A and B are shown apart, each in its own frame.
Chain A
Amino acid sequence: MTEAVRPALARRYRQERLLVLAGKASIVIALLFLAGLLGNVAVNGWRALLRAEIQLPVHFDPAVIGAAGEHDALAYARLVKQAARADLAPDAGRKARKEAQQLLSFGAALQLRDAVAADPALVGATKEVWLPAASAAELHLKAFEALPGAAGRGLNLSERQATLLDRLHEEGRTALRFNGRFFTAGDSRDPEAAGIGGALMGSLLTLIVTLIATFPVGVGAAVYLELLAPRSRVFDFIEVNINNLAAVPSVIMGLLGLAVLIGVFGVSRSTPLVGGMVLGFLTLPTIIIAARAALKAVPDSLLHAALSLGATRLQGIVHQVLPAAMPGIMTGTIIGMAGALGETAPLLMVGMVAFVVAVPTGFGDVATALPVQIFLWADSPERGYVEKTALAICVLIAFLLAMNAAAIWLRRRFEKLL
């Protein structure tokens, strides 16, 4: 007997070792892909955390900006041009002067206007000011600082502009600073001024709408289907269709939103309100399925105990079953929301692909969302958007990680309560 078993035993152990090995190899491959993705976006994106500034003496000329500095941004743009001309190309020709002006971002004008608004005494004075560089100049200066991987040196710049920047750099009149504006500003036609703040806020508002629209409906539907509904043919039909709903391609949900929400109900397009509801179509089946699974996992004995004490069915469900199922429901909801966060196609259908400069503050404001912003930037020809795209991807992934962390935290908390 043992003579027959032993050789087979060795083979069985070998099979088991192979299985473990295959499992480990799969995990290593998955981790390599993940590391490759994260490494790639991090390497490409981290330079977007920096912005270039150029130091210039600015004469706050009352003839240009008004005696109290009350003129508009275009007047301040003229002020910047004057300063650039006077300092960078004092006695050169028209072309050289224009090229010198091009080194500075339009954001410089806004910065000066804000400075005068904060301190009106500046009008008439002359002061050394650090001003944001235009995108091409910024890329050149980043290359100058020998940042690894910076490829923008001399790109989209004339020979004269490149020399000028090199000189400014040697004089110590250029600097790379932390670009905090990236996280608060909206989109911009100028890559150096574009920020992810608008899209971040848009995504947040959209997800709030999605959550409010789907969580109560999803949990309610799950409770009814799992605990209250009589098993019948209608029930089977509904069950099959909820599972089908979860598999409908997202772009079709976008079309549904376009046709029904915007076309029939007249919800205004491009807003977090309509975007959130469309994402809700996608999230709802996920929440229902996850909540049903969580409710099914709660032992019947809890409901029976409550009923045996004279609780009504509603009391038993609300007091005992739902709290016990909450960790699972929350996890499912956040997974659904994380899926919604990454959705792009349905948002394109309801117009959340608009170019939005202002950061949205309400559910009815025109807005865009993180993945749509990434799509827009990745689609832009300007070189300056490349690193912005990568950093935006980092922000999206960080948002996702934060949501998953919240899911884990919530689950732990609820499990502790149980």
Chain B
Amino acid sequence: MSGGTEQAKPAAVFSCQEVNVHYGAFQAIKNVSLDVQPKEITALIGPSGCGKSTFLRCLNRMNDLIETCQVTGRIELDGADIYRRGFDVVDLRYRVGMVFQKPNPFPKSIWDNVAYGPRIHGVRDRAALDETVERSLRSAGLWDEVKDKLDEQGTRLSGGQQQRLCIARAIAVNPEVILMDEPCSALDPIATARIEELMYELRRAYTIVIVTHSMQQAARTSARTAYFHLGELIEHGLTRDIFDSPKHKQTEAYISGRIG
């Protein structure tokens, strides 16, 4: 702030302490403590079944939908425990948006897809909705491709366009955090590159947590990387440190392609 002094480290958006997740008798997440810093991309990597998607879904409590799922520990969003009794899960998801592995646009028009979020939160005014739709589609880099066919079915777009539509839909409610669960795994390399560019743009305005199978993707896009293995957080730090000089053997083995 004032000249010369080092800028104080901004408070974490998510602060997770000793998070454990059980599916019935199976423990999917073991004692994970992890902070998510604002306005940057955090990548969660690790082999299949390591719990990275489970952990991601704890952050907007999508795990609530699974009856057998039990979450313990503290996950704080801006200092408030989101698993506290009485914490409003609708409000949480309004603040923490999500983009899924498979593009899942609603079987409705492009306009309806993007406007759905603001509408359920009470925006009725057509002009305001139009503006939100345009702003969101522009942010998602989709506006020029669809501006003449906003009333066409969202499901008729190509896979990459559908995923960008889903991103537009998520940012239409102006969340603080966007969670992305392997957003490119169903896309070809060109569409993947576009999404990565988009994520890079969006990190200026949003905190992004992404689960990815692609090491290159994590290396290219994220500022911080967390490596999960069998439900444990093995290593967490700046992406360049993790990739250049991993502290743990396991991390190194995974990154260099020997396991996973």
Which listed residue (A302, A309, A315) contacts B97, Cβ 8 A?
A309
Cross-chain contact B62 with A309 (CB below 8 angstroms): no
Interface digits, B48-68 against A, CB 8 Å rule (1 contact, 0 not)? 000000000000101001010
- Please indicate the chain B residues that have their CB under 8 angstroms from the CB of A304 in the complex: 62, 65, 98, 100, 104
Complex alpha-carbon distance, A231 and B121, angstroms? 31
Question: Are A301's CB and B97's CB within 8 A?
Answer: no
B90 lies within 8 A of chain A by Cβ: yes
Chain B contacts of A312 at CB under 8 A?
Answer: 90
B8 within 8 A of A: no
A257 to B76, CA, bound (A): 58
User: Quick check: A231 and B90 within 8 Å, CB to CB?
Assistant: no
Please tell me if the beta carbons of A301 and B169 are within 8 angstroms of each other in the complex. Answer: no
Q: Is the CB of B120 within 8 A of A308?
A: no
Whether A319 sits at the interface, judged by CB under 8 Å, is yes
Q: Give the total of B residues in contact with A, Cβ under 8 Å.
A: 27
B102 is an interface residue with CB less than 8 A from chain A: yes
Q: How far is the CB of A307 from chain B (nearest CB, A)?
A: 6
List A residues 277-317 near B (Cβ within 8 Å): 299, 301-302, 304-312, 315
Q: Does A23 contact B (CB under 8 A)?
A: no
A308-355 residues at the B interface, CB under 8 angstroms? 308-312, 315, 319-320, 323-324
Q: A301 to B120, Cβ gap below 8 A?
A: no
Q: Assess whether A230 is interfacial by the CB under 8 Å rule.
A: yes
Residue B106 CB within 8 A of the other chain? yes
Complex CA gap A66/B189 in Å reads 96
Q: Which residues of A contact B173 (CB under 8 A)?
A: 309-310
Q: Is A308 touching B98 in the complex (CB atoms < 8 A)? A: yes
B260 CB within 8 Å of chain A: no
B178 to chain A, nearest CB (A): 10
- Give the CA-CA distance A312 to B91 in the complex, in Å: 10
Judging by beta carbons under 8 Å apart, are B104 and A305 in contact? yes
CB distance from B177 to the nearest CB of A (A): 12
Q: B107, B155, B170: which contacts A309 (Cβ < 8 A)?
A: B170
B94: interface (CB < 8 Å): yes
Contacts of B97 in A (CB 8 A): 308-309
User: Known pairs A308-B93, A309-B94, A418-B153. 16 more at Cβ < 8 A?
Assistant: A231-B67, A299-B104, A301-B102, A304-B65, A305-B166, A306-B120, A308-B60, A308-B170, A309-B173, A310-B90, A310-B93, A310-B120, A311-B120, A324-B107, A418-B108, A418-B155
Residues of B within 8 A of A (CB): 60, 62, 65, 67, 90-91, 93-94, 97-98, 100, 102, 104-108, 116-117, 120-121, 153, 155, 166, 169-170, 173
- A: residues with CB less than 8 A from B are 230-231, 299, 301-302, 304-312, 315, 319-320, 323-324, 418
Q: Could you jot down 26 A-B contacts, CB within 8 Å?
A: A304-B65, A304-B100, A304-B104, A305-B100, A305-B104, A305-B106, A307-B65, A307-B93, A308-B60, A308-B62, A308-B97, A308-B98, A308-B100, A309-B116, A309-B120, A309-B169, A310-B91, A310-B93, A310-B120, A311-B120, A312-B90, A319-B116, A319-B120, A320-B106, A418-B107, A418-B155
